[in-house]
Every structure is written in structure tokens, then in C-alpha cells.
Amino acid sequence: MSAPSVAATAPHRSSTFKVLAAASIGNALEWYDILVYGYFAVTISKLFFPTSDPATALLLTFGTFGVSYLVRPLGALVLGAYADHAGRRAAMLVSIVIMTIGTGLMAIMPTYNTIGIAAPIAVLLARLLQGFAVAGEFGSATAFLVGHSKERKGFFASFQWFGQGLAAVLASFFGVLLFSWLTADQLESRGERSPADAAYGPSDCTQDPAH
């Protein structure tokens, strides 16, 4: 390979790596935000739902978890149509912003004892935003990755599933770590918000997958 060819290939490889890294990290963080809620369902049920009946509170918590799945078809359709109109990168950025808002809401939300019925309503709103965002991000990011590669489209698309697997590992890791290190009182005072805080911070690094 000639020197000019090598020089031209190096920036392309760097750009390709950045696209793969940004899209994979963004996808992983969005699915992490979705999954980590389930690992802390018992603690969330005590903090954000009426606790007169623990079983009912837990059922409401898991019901709210399920709502995020019901809104996904809508998110996929709306953000998919937006991607056709404004571009795949724009749709990805919108989905990341929506997910950041939902995750931030979970991170700063007062408990049921502080704001009453507004707490479970806010949890529901946060989950709706997260479910809407993650569905829209998946299609746009997959199309973006496939469109960025001329020869290895299947390999590039596989990074979406890699991101989801990474999200499950990270969510499990935080669950084991916090439940091992913190007492029940510590978890209920702030510990259950730590996974959301951890996801909220890095979200800025995935704001533009093309840079």
C-alpha cells in the first residue's frame, strides 16, 4: 500500500472507531437506564410508591417498569419518521436528550413521603420518556452504523446488540456492588439513585456520534 493510501486510511479508521464507540456507548447507556430500574425495584417501591401495602407497592413498581415497553412502538415510529425527515444523527441526538431527561428525573426526584402522589406519577413519566427514547434510538443508531460502513454492514450493526449486552452487565454489576456495600438504610437514603447518577454523567460524551 502506498504512503498516500496509508495516510488517507488512518483518519478514516479513526472516524470509524469514534462512530462505533459513540453509538455503542449511547446504546448501552440507554438500555442500562431501562434495565437498572428492575434491579432496584424493591427499594424504589419503598421510596416512590405508597408503602401501606408492600406487595401492592412492588406490583405498582413493576407495572411502571412494564409501561416503558408499551410506549416503545410509539417511540420507534415517531423517531423513525423524524430520522427520515431530519437525518439519523439528529434522531439519535433527540433520543439521547429524551433519555437524559428521564434519567435525570429519576436521579433528583423526591420520595413519596416528601411529595406524595406526585412521586409515582413522576416515576411513570420518567419511565415513559425512557421507553420512548430507547426504541427510537435503536433503529436510528442501527441505520447510522450500517450506513457508515460500505463493506462490513453486518459487523457494524452487531454493535447494537453488543451495547445491550454491555448494559445488562453494567446494570447487574451496579446492583451487586451497591447491595453488597450499602445497608438497607443507606440504599433508601441515596444509594438507589447512584446507578442513575452514574449513567447521567457520561451522557454528554455521546451527544454527537459523528465527532
Q: Domain 18-199 in CATH: superfamily?
A: MFS general substrate transporter like domains (1.20.1250.20)
Q: Give every CB contact of residue 83 below 8 A, 6+ residues apart in sequence.
A: 90, 91, 92, 136, 139, 140, 143
* pLDDT computed for residue 201 by the predictor: 46
Cα 74-67-116 angle, rounded to 5 deg:
125
Residues in the chain, pLDDT under 50:
1-10, 200-207, 211
36-84 pLDDT tens trace: 888 888 888 888 898 788 889 999 999 998 888 899 999 999 999 998 8
The beta strand positions in the chain, using DSSP E, are none
* pLDDT computed for residue 7 by the predictor: 45
C-alpha cell at 127: 419511565
User: What own/partner pairs with CB < 8 Å and gap ≥ 24 does 116-121 have?
Assistant: 119/47, 119/48, 119/49, 120/48, 120/49, 120/50, 120/60, 120/64
Residue 151 CB-density burial (10 A; 0-12 exposed, 13-18 middle, 19+ buried) = exposed
* pLDDT computed for residue 11 by the predictor: 53
* pLDDT computed for residue 78 by the predictor: 94
Residues across the chain:
211
* pLDDT computed for residue 46 by the predictor: 87
* pLDDT computed for residue 132 by the predictor: 93
